[in-house]
């Protein structure tokens, strides 16, 4: 069956047991990958699929990105890279951004996974394994250019330059660094980090550079370097905060109404009674709370939508439920079991994040496990039925 996008009420009937429906649009994901490739050209573009592809399902999405042309996949941890193995052809590169804990080098090498080496200690452990095996082992070397998070410091880089034999046995695929402020094109720190990266790359002649995340791809020219590493933009988040988002939305979230009630003026709502009704109101309790990834910071701030009608969240978000004021709707519009939009055409992922005083990354990675997940273009996964799409 081919399921059309955005038919939540019909879909609702099919999944009546779930508290909400998380729709992940495969075609939009692939379109976003291709769009990023155009923007970054002639650079190559990988995909960051750490934290289970920002909560959306790495084993599911990585093959779609592969199909769209991606050959470089980045995760944060070795465990994630191992889990991703069966989803991708063996020749496709899997990189571990956080590097390796001492003692895990052999596991990494055996699986054909490429570590990002973030310290001299990691470099020498990887080189030691290469020497023991009499092989050259591939790696990425990360240099910190202004974030103080991961990668060699200036002092470590000087030590490495003074004794280049430390890298013996290591085949450097890329030198990389990460930008701290790429979501803000006006920030002068971007140019500072780019210049620093350009100086550093001269120390590694012939070694390609990986530099850009999503935001940096949209900073233009030199930022894309040889291999970009976008994450959030693939999943529909805005590369630059507060600007028009050029990416297609990938995620839609609709949550079911559990109960509706009428309350008088002066009614105290939810934990702590932080909202008192000023006039009689009609309220709906919906089946998602902070355990499902609706941040508690949305209390008395965010909203859900029904059609284009904004339905403000009233009172505190609780673990499994949130209360919205539906007084703006005609009386019989909503009933228990129907769906309201939390992320969708009327309220983007970025809007929801901004209301919650957070970033789309945090919203996505916390979306709970209790939603029914649907894939409107899932027939694309099965080449045999692809013509039906």
Q: Which is nearer to ligand PLP, 97 or 283 (CB)?
A: 97
Closer to ligand PLP by Cβ: residue 39 or 316: 39
Residue 36: enclosing H or E segment and its boundaries?
Answer: helix 26-40
Nearer to ligand PLP, 56 or 334 (CB): 56
CB of 239 to ligand PLP, least distance (A): 7
Shorter beta-carbon distance to ligand PLP: residue 95 or 375? 95
- Residue closer to ligand PLP by CB (options 138, 215) is 215
Shortest distance (Å) from residue 50 CB to ligand PLP: 6
Q: Distance of CA 309 to CAs 302, 316, 328, 343, Å?
A: 13, 21, 7, 14
Beta bridge partners of 174: 140
Question: What's the min distance (Å) between Cβ of 213 and ligand PLP?
Answer: 3
The active-site residue out of 33, 50, 174, 371 is 50
Residue closest to ligand PLP (Cβ): 231
Query: Cβ 150 to ligand PLP, closest distance in Å?
Result: 7
Of 97 and 334, which CB lies nearer to ligand PLP in the complex structure? 97
Are 65 and 58 within 8 A, CB to CB? no
Sign, CA dihedral 340-51-242-44, equals: negative
Edge-to-edge order in the sheet of strand 93-96: 44-45, 227-228, 209-210, 170-176, 137-142, 114-117, 93-96, 72-75, 47-48
The SS3 call for residue 282 is strand
Q: In the complex, what is the shortest distance from the CB of residue 229 to ligand PLP, in angstroms, rounded to a whole number? A: 4
Which residue in the list 33, 174, 271, 361 is annotated as catalytic?
271
Does 271 participate in catalysis according to the annotation? Answer: yes
Min dist CB 177 to ligand PLP, Å, is 8
Q: Tell me which DSSP letter residue 188 carries.
A: T
Angle at 279 between CA 274 and CA 283, to 5 degrees: 65
Q: Is 50 a catalytic residue?
A: yes
d(CA 234, CA 231): 6
Put residue 225 in one of left, alpha, beta given phi > 0 → left and psi -120 to 50 → alpha.
left
How far is 93 from 342, CA to CA, in rounded Å?
Answer: 36
- Among 55, 163, 44, smallest CA distance to 95 is for 44
Q: Which residues form the interface with ligand PLP (CB under 6 A)? A: 48, 50, 97, 178, 213-215, 229-233
Q: Nearest CA to 313 among 255, 360, 236?
A: 255
Q: Which residues are catalytic?
A: 50, 271
């Amino acid at each position: 069956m081919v399921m059309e996008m955005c038919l939540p009420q019909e879909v609702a009937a099919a999944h009546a047991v779930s508290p909400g429906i998380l729709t992940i649009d495969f075609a939009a994901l692939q379109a976003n990958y291709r769009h990023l490739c155009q923007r970054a050209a002639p650079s190559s573009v990988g995909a960051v699929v750490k934290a289970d592809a920002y909560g959306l399902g790495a084993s599911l999405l990585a093959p779609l990105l592969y199909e769209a042309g991606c050959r470089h996949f980045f995760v944060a941890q070795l465990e994630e890279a191992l889990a991703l193995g069966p989803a991708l052809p063996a020749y496709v590169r899997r990189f571990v951004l956080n590097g390796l804990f001492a003692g895990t080098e052999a596991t990494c090498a055996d699986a054909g996974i490429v570590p990002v080496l973030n310290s001299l200690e990691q470099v020498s452990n990887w080189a030691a394994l290469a020497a023991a095996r009499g092989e050259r082992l591939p790696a990425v070397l990360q240099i910190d250019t202004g974030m103080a998070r991961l990668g060699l410091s200036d002092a470590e880089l000087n030590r490495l330059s003074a004794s280049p034999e430390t890298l013996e046995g290591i085949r450097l695929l890329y030198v990389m660094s990460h930008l701290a402020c790429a979501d803000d094109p006006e920030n002068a720190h971007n140019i500072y980090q780019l210049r620093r990266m350009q100086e550093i790359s001269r120390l590694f002649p012939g070694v390609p550079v990986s530099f850009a995340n999503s935001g940096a791809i949209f900073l233009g020219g030199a930022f894309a370097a040889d291999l970009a590493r976008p994450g959030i933009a693939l999943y529909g988040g805005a590369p630059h905060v507060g600007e028009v988002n050029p990416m297609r939305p990938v995620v839609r979230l609709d949550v079911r109404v559990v109960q509706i009630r009428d309350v008088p003026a002066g009614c105290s709502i939810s934990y702590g009674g932080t909202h008192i009704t000023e006039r009689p109101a009609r309220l709906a309790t919906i089946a998602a709370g902070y355990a499902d990834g609706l941040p508690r910071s949305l209390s008395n701030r965010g909203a859900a939508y029904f059609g284009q009608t904004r339905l403000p969240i009233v009172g505190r978000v609780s673990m499994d439920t949130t209360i919205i004021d539906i007084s703006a709707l005609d009386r019989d519009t909503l009933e228990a079991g129907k769906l309201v939009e939390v992320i969708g055409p009327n309220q983007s992922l970025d809007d929801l994040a901004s209301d919650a005083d957070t970033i789309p990354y945090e919203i996505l990675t916390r979306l709970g496990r209790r939603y029914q997940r649907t894939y409107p273009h899932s027939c694309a996964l099965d080449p045999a039925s692809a013509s039906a799409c």
